[in-house]
Amino acid sequence: MRARLPALEAETYLNTGGAGPLPDRAAEAMRAMVDIQVARGRMSERAVEDGRARQAALRAMVGRVVGRPAAEIAIAQSSTHAMNVVIWGLGLRRGDNVVTTNMEHPGLAVPLATAAARAGATVRMVDVGDGSGPLEEAVGRVITTRTRLVALSHVSWMTGAVLDVEGAARAASSVGAITLVDGAQGAGAVPVTPVDWGIQAYAMPAQKWLLGPEGLGALWIAPEMLDRIAVTTAGYETGEDHGWDGSVAMHGDARRYEASTFPEILLAGWTASLEWLDGLGWSRVHEGTREAARACREAMAGTRGVRLDPPTDADSGLVAFSVPGTAAEQVAAALSARGVVVRPLPPPGGLRASCGFFTNAGDIERLTEVLGDVAAC
């Protein structure tokens, strides 16, 4: 598996939570697509038909990540773009409120606050601690009959905790609100079963745990939401039939949230990555990620001068840690200088190591070795 990820030969790479290593097959697929676009007209009848087939193949592969059919998948530019589709499509009004947590990534927090401010709605915040606790009661304490949306992460980008999205969704449904989940640190790292959780929308990026190129993402949306989440960014790809007056016969599935020309080169790369992961088997990928993170926590717990940050038993691929007395940016820079890549977090966080199914004992040993040297300085 590591042979398919050339970046792992160059350094001890532990920042898949930022962007995962790109499989060689994805690079090959993108190069092949470039060659095709150079060699022939990009908008011939054949090229259009081939493009439609690639788009359909990508939706199907993303659908396999979440265990849902392709008709429930919209291709997006990023997970942030996908979440904007839902947030703005709600049509918030003055007096409404939306509920989120106090540990969300700006990719969710910023569009949520922006849409609420424009509408005169209120953002209500739930303090979830390190993110590992039950959420039904906590969310239930702040929701009202004017709550339109509960939005939260699947896995915290700060602590690695797997949030209780199912409990949050139960609280949301009690007042008729929908639940949107930011899957940036979840999809590809841990199992994703949105229907079982009772949520209505799940956003994911290509470039993190799904090992695709930057510039793509996807949205899973429950079919019953199509009439509830309005299309706010529209274009040629929104429907199948168009009038000169701007009228459009919208797609009857999630494709209605796609607006314009697709980046075919990137689509080819992400599809290749997903096909490789799917071929390995998602249970193998998820379990390998869980085991690598567990081994990393155990090794760091025995490294002098290093503190594991809570929760210390998370089932995600993210391991949060600190070197007391040394700034996170300083630690990350020292590690990087010796070929070990981790992510420094904004205050009050420390650092974050991302362990994937491809992370091996040598990577963990190198991390703890260099960390021990840094902590001793």
Q: What is the DSSP string of 178-209?
A: EEEEE-TTTBTTB---HHHHT-SEEEEESSST
- For the chain, which domains are there? 2-22+281-376 (3.90.1150.10), 28-278 (3.40.640.10)
Indicate if the pLDDT at residue 101 is higher than 90. yes
> 27 has which bridge partners?
none
The pairing of beta strand 217-221 with beta strand 201-205: antiparallel
The closest of 211, 93, 192, 108 to 150, measured between CA atoms, is 108
Query: Are the CB atoms for 218 and 82 separated by under 8 Å?
Result: yes
**Residue 237 has what DSSP assignment?**
G
Average pLDDT, integer, range 346-372? 96
Q: What are phi and psi of 217, to 5 degrees?
A: -160, -175
pLDDT digits (tens, 9 = 90+) for 13-24: 999 999 999 999
Q: Which residues pair with 322 in a beta bridge?
A: 307
Rounded CA separation 61/273 (Å): 10
Give me 216's structure tokens: 């793509």
Residue 204: pLDDT band (50, 70, 90) is very high
Closest CA to 99 of 68, 141, 59: 141
3-class DSSP state of 321: strand
Half-sphere exposure of residue 251: CA atoms within 13 angstroms, side-chain side: 19
pLDDT of res. 27 = 98
Q: Which two tokens stand for residue 358?
A: 């491809």
**What pLDDT, on the 0 to 100 scale, is given for residue 301?**
93
**Which band of pLDDT confidence, cut at 50, 70 and 90, is reported for residue 291?**
very high
Q: CA-CA distances (angstroms) from residue 347 to 86, 339, 352, 376?
A: 29, 24, 13, 23
Residue 167: per-residue pLDDT: 98
pLDDT band at 246 (very low <50, low <70, confident <90, very high): very high
Percent of the residues in the chain that have a pLDDT greater than 70, as a whole number = 100
Helical segments of the chain, H only: 7-10, 24-39, 45-66, 79-89, 106-119, 136-140, 165-173, 194-197, 264-280, 282-301, 328-337, 361-376
The per-residue pLDDT for 251 is 97
In residues, how long is the chain? 377
Q: Model's pTM, two decimal places?
A: 0.97
With cut-offs at 50, 70 and 90, classify the pLDDT of residue 211: very high
Determine how many CB atoms are found less than 10 A away from the CB of residue 301: 13
Q: What's residue 39's pLDDT?
A: 94
| Res. 377: pLDDT tops 90 | no
**Model confidence at 6: pLDDT above 90:** yes
Q: If we measure between CA atoms, which residue out of 255, 233, 79, 228 comes closest to residue 149?
A: 228
